[in-house]
């Protein structure tokens, strides 16, 4: 199968496909994605503000600030493995939520590029990325099926799919207890608690997903594969595929290296417990996991780099963290994202068990 560069889903000849049904209103369209954001963002932002305000003020302010600064310095120096979880819990997740919709990037479509507001472009690219990743399932899965998301993140994924498919059951898995708690609060405020549930656990622990084996009409992982250590990428993919019904697809949005990272990026990624594969390593892991590709839709770095350029501070970030952090953090992240995206292609892929 050849790679399609940003041209949509490519299916090898002879691969059976379920007939596509009429797409939900607003699916893969800026107008519909904007409508979703107008509902979702105020709820999510209110939940995040309340959650992190309580978490951060529960510590002594000066002690907490010194601890954050020490951990950040160690992270940049490549020696913060033991402090990364607390950094993400109490500092980085909150910061990222103020500049991005999710913790992943998204390719920019021609329609998104025409939107004048850079922050809105970022949000739309991420919602569109959810739409593209889930596209085969949105178009063909049973309306009352079960869908499983691996990696809750900042809750944009499950919330978008629940909006598009109002009868499906969604199970969102995460290793971070705070992500699950935030997701539960958002689901409750959106009136979705009856069909969206959250589970905390390690995907590599069979007990986490044993009762979900063979139950899903689709499983999706966005930005998850780099968090699997290199020797365990196939194992992680097998664990996700084990939750699928026979013939059901695994959908992945991620990136693979097309040339080496800089030494700084290599060190920063390893410190953050991220290992991006090459294209061949990604496909070898899928093959070792017993999965056959049905879609491999790749986007080069140029399709995604505007995401880095659009990353910037805002009034909300300034009010909560002060003018220095509001200026420094987005600039650091912008440079980091350019270093991350430039050597990589991004890909939407789908696969089924052999």
Tens digit of pLDDT for each residue in 140-156?
988 889 999 999 999 99
Cα torsion 234, 240, 243, 248: sign: negative
Structure tokens at 122: 């970022």
Structure tokens at 271: 């410190």
Q: What is the mean pLDDT of the chain?
A: 87
Query: What pLDDT, on a 0 to 100 scale, did the predictor assign at position 314?
Result: 87
Phi, psi at 309, each rounded to 5° = -65, -30
Query: What pLDDT, on a 0 to 100 scale, did the predictor assign at position 208?
Result: 97
Quickly count: other Cβ atoms within 10 Å of residue 137's Cβ: 25
Per-residue pLDDT band at 40 (split at 50, 70, 90): very high
User: What is d(CA 233, CA 229) in angstroms, rounded to the nearest whole number?
Assistant: 6
**How buried is residue 93: exposed, middle or buried, by Cβ count under 10 Å (0-12/13-18/19+)?**
buried
User: What is d(CA 274, CA 336) in angstroms, rounded to the nearest whole number?
Assistant: 14
Nearest to 197 by CA among 171, 175, 174: 171
Half-sphere exposure of 61 (CA within 13 A, CB side): 3
Q: Average pLDDT, stretch 169-196?
A: 96
Which single residue is written with the structure tokens 């992680």? 236
Q: Model-level pTM?
A: 0.89
Cβ neighbours for 98, distance < 8 A, ≥ 6 positions apart? 314, 316, 317, 320
Query: What pLDDT, on a 0 to 100 scale, did the predictor assign at position 273?
Result: 85
Q: Average pLDDT, stretch 160-178?
A: 95
Q: Average pLDDT, stretch 156-169?
A: 97
Quickly count: other Cβ atoms within 10 Å of residue 200's Cβ: 15
User: What is d(CA 276, CA 261) in angstroms, rounded to the nearest whole number?
Assistant: 10
Q: Average pLDDT, stretch 224-246?
A: 97
Local structure of residue 29 (DSSP, 8 states): -
Query: What pLDDT, on a 0 to 100 scale, did the predictor assign at position 20?
Result: 59
Phi, psi at 105, each rounded to 5° = -90, -175
Tens digit of pLDDT for each residue in 56-89?
555 444 445 555 555 555 544 555 444 455 555 5
Q: Average pLDDT, stretch 315-329?
A: 85
Contact in structure between 271 and 79 (CB atoms under 8 Å): yes
Tens digit of pLDDT for each residue in 239-270?
999 999 999 999 999 999 999 999 999 988 98
Query: What pLDDT, on a 0 to 100 scale, did the predictor assign at position 86?
Result: 58
Q: Average pLDDT, stretch 227-241?
A: 97
């Amino acid at each position: 199968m050849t790679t399609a560069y940003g041209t949509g889903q490519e299916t090898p000849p002879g691969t059976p496909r379920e007939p596509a049904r009429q797409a939900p209103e607003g699916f893969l369209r800026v107008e519909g994605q904007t409508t979703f954001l107008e509902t979702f963002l105020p709820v999510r932002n209110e939940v995040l503000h309340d959650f992190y305000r309580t978490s951060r003020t529960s510590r002594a302010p000066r002690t907490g600030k010194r601890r954050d600064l020490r951990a950040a310095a160690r992270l940049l120096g490549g020696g913060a493995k033991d402090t990364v979880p607390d950094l993400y819990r109490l500092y980085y997740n909150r910061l990222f939520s103020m500049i991005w919709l999710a913790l992943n990037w998204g390719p920019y479509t021609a329609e998104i590029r025409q939107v004048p507001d850079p922050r809105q472009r970022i949000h739309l690219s991420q919602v569109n990325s959810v739409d593209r990743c889930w596209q085969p399932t949105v178009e063909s899965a049973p309306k009352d099926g079960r869908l499983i998301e691996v990696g809750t993140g900042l809750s944009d994924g499950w919330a978008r799919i629940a909006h598009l498919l109002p009868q499906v059951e969604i199970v969102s898995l995460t290793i971070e207890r705070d992500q699950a708690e935030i997701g539960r609060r958002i689901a409750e405020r959106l009136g979705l608690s009856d069909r969206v549930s959250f589970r905390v656990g390690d995907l590599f622990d069979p007990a986490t997903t044993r009762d979900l084996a063979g139950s899903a009409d689709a499983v999706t992982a966005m930005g998850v594969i780099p968090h699997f250590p290199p020797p365990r990428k196939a194992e992680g993919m097998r664990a996700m595929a084990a939750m699928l019904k026979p013939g059901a697809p695994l959908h992945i949005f991620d990136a693979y290296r097309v040339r080496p990272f800089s030494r700084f990026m290599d060190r920063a990624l390893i410190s953050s417990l991220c290992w991006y594969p090459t294209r061949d390593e990604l496909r070898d892991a899928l093959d070792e996991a017993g999965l056959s590709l049905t879609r491999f839709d790749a986007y080069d770095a140029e399709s995604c780099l505007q995401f880095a350029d659009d990353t910037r501070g805002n009034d909300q970030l300034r009010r909560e963290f002060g003018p220095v952090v509001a200026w420094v953090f987005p600039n650091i992240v912008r440079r980091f994202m350019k270093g991350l995206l430039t050597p990589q292609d991004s890909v939407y892929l789908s696969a089924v068990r052999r």
